[in-house]
């Protein structure tokens, strides 16, 4: 099902050598934007599936496609030719677009549905995709690509063959779920097993904010040994959550409380973000901007926990905190890594040569962990990327069902949401890259009714 495009086995700082394309393309965007911004439009590659003279038919799909690595200018809203919809890499199509105009419901791929998307959310991963630095996107899709994981919308068509893992979806059902790319769209072909019905008290925007952050949070706690509930959990029940005001961080705070972890300690990057994780139940929230040195910050972090070290530390920061996080685990503690935000530029649209040199320096100074030290210290280091989970059908099904149950019981609060129209996707990326956003940014394909 999953076949890599022109897969290269050589690595440079953990990245396939197609990172060279990303370097060249981003620097070209930066040069043109700096010296001759009026020529930026010439950097947009042709996309064969685009309808150059679109009709006004409401059934045509609009999507945001990226033709090559680069800056905000690469985020193009295009109208696809009649009958085309977007699709994730998990269905094995050679491009992010598929023509369904001549296919009956019996001929749709088994167990799939077409969703008319009302809202999709934006993740930091999407910025990395645009820069050409997201490995699963490069490996399984290539260029062009339609980014995005999270959708909410209405079922428009249902495959007449196969099943949807007992979800029993029907035309007209309001659903939300994950696409494995292809979500920046008004219409997408999705396996039904990756969707669930939207609880009646949630809007499309609220539902679209949930899939990636909630699944990432719950799988982090799974790796931490706390889900499913186990009888042999360690006595130390503390957890430290970096970036606690973000989408994943907010979900981690709530789920940690639901699974009996205590104390739940969150870290945020500015004082304006302190109240949000507190409102979700975080026992202690620490604003790291108020400390003069990392050592002072870590002293405060440790003082927030009476135990000798943390049982779980959830860290998506990368080079800036990985070593400190590992050092502040207790015996049997687990450091769970699901991102490297501090390795990447904050507040940058285009990646100029100086930014690339900074990233290379940071990659070269990533902490190294010795296997023998892991045994002697009795600590664990684990990492994952949700975009590689397409074949984990049973596992994702259980995670979906647990999240759905908590939502139904009113035990989970959806992230704080900033809503923007689909046409303002560039503004959304800039806001996300600024580090000033709280919770989730959700794009609306049309006005909600």
The predicted-structure confidence for 63-91, as pLDDT tens digits, reads as follows 999 999 999 999 999 999 999 999 999 99
Distances (CA, A) of 412 to 40, 199, 250, 256: 44, 12, 10, 11
For residue 14, name the pLDDT band (cuts at 50, 70, 90).
low
- Write down the pLDDT at residue 346: 76
Residue 168 lies inside a defined structural domain of this protein: yes
Statement to judge: residues 174 and 244 lie in one domain: no
Statement to judge: residues 162 and 259 lie in one domain: no
Q: What percent of the chain has pLDDT over 70?
A: 92
18 pLDDT more than 80: no
Residue 401 lies inside a defined structural domain of this protein: no
2 pLDDT more than 70: no
Statement to judge: residues 184 and 225 lie in one domain: no
Statement to judge: residues 369 and 429 lie in one domain: no
Q: Using the 8-state DSSP alphabet, how is residue 41 labeled? A: G
pLDDT in tens, 331-340: 999 999 999 9
Statement to judge: residues 164 and 279 lie in one domain: no
Statement to judge: residues 95 and 227 lie in one domain: no
Q: Which of 13-22, 50-59, 160-169 has the highest average model confidence (pLDDT)?
A: 50-59
Residue 176 lies inside a defined structural domain of this protein: yes
Give the CATH number for residue 223: 3.40.50.720
The mean pLDDT of 334-353, rounded to a whole number, is 88
As for how many domains the chain has, the answer is 2
Range of the domain at 342: 214-388
Statement to judge: residues 201 and 221 lie in one domain: no
Residue 280 lies inside a defined structural domain of this protein: yes
- Write down the pLDDT at residue 4: 45
Residue 220 lies inside a defined structural domain of this protein: yes
The mean pLDDT of 216-225, rounded to a whole number, is 96
Distances (CA, A) of 109 to 104, 122, 390: 10, 27, 16
If you average pLDDT over every residue of the chain, what do you get? Answer: 91
Residue 224 lies inside a defined structural domain of this protein: yes
Statement to judge: residues 169 and 314 lie in one domain: no
Residue 409 lies inside a defined structural domain of this protein: no
Domain boundary among 343, 372, 388: 388
9 pLDDT more than 70: no
pLDDT in tens, 103-146: 999 999 999 999 999 999 999 999 999 999 999 999 999 999 99
Statement to judge: residues 254 and 175 lie in one domain: no
8 pLDDT more than 50: no
Statement to judge: residues 373 and 440 lie in one domain: no
DSSP E strands: which ranges in 269-392?
284-287, 310-315, 329-337, 380-383
Residue 379 lies inside a defined structural domain of this protein: yes
- Write down the pLDDT at residue 165: 58
Statement to judge: residues 20 and 116 lie in one domain: yes
Statement to judge: residues 419 and 313 lie in one domain: no
How many whole angstroms separate alpha carbon 238 and alpha carbon 47?
A: 50
């Amino acid at each position: 099902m999953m076949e890599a495009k022109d897969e290269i086995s050589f690595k440079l700082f953990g990245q396939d050598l197609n990172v060279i394309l990303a370097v060249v393309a981003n620097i070209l965007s930066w040069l043109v934007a700096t010296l001759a911004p009026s020529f930026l439009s010439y950097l947009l590659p042709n996309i064969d599936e685009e309808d150059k003279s679109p009709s006004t038919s409401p059934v045509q799909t609009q999507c945001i496609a990226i033709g090559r690595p680069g800056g905000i200018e690469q985020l193009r809203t295009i109208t696809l030719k009649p009958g085309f919809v977007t699709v994730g890499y998990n269905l094995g199509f050679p491009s992010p677009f598929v023509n369904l105009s001549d296919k009956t419901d019996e001929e749709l791929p088994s167990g799939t549905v077409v969703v008319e998307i009302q809202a999709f959310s934006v993740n930091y991963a999407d910025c990395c995709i645009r820069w050409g630095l997201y490995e699963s996107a490069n490996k399984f899709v290539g260029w062009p690509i339609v980014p995005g994981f999270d959708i909410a919308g209405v079922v428009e068509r249902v495959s007449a063959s196969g099943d949807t893992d007992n979800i029993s979806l029907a035309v007209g059902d309001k659903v939300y779920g994950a696409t494995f790319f292809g979500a920046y769209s008004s219409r997408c072909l999705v396996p039904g097993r990756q969707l669930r019905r939207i609880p009646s008290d949630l809007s499309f925007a609220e539902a679209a904010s949930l899939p990636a952050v909630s699944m990432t949070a719950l799988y982090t706690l799974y790796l931490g040994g706390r889900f499913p509930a186990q009888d042999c959990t360690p006595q130390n029940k503390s957890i430290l959550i970096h970036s606690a005001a973000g989408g994943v961080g907010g979900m981690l705070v709530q789920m940690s409380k639901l699974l009996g972890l205590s104390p739940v300690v969150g870290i945020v990057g500015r004082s304006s973000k302190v109240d949000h994780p507190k409102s979700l139940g975080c026992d202690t929230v620490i604003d790291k901007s108020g400390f003069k040195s990392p050592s002072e910050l870590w002293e405060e972090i440790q003082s927030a926990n009476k135990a000798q070290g943390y049982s779980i530390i959830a860290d998506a920061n990368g080079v800036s905190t990985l070593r400190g996080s590992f050092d502040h685990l207790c015996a049997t503690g687990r450091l769970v890594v699901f991102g490297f935000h501090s390795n990447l530029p904050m507040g940058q649209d285009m990646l100029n040569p100086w930014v690339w040199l900074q990233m290379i320096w940071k990659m070269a100074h990533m902490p190294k962990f010795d296997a023998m030290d892991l045994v002697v210290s009795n600590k664990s280091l684990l990492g994952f990327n949700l975009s590689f989970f397409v074949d984990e059908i049973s596992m994702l099904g259980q995670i979906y069902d647990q999240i759905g149950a908590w939502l139904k019981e009113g035990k989970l609060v959806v992230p704080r949401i900033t809503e923007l129209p689909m046409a303002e996707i560039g503004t959304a990326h800039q806001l996300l890259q600024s580090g000033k956003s709280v919770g989730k940014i959700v794009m609306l394909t049309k006005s909600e009714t």
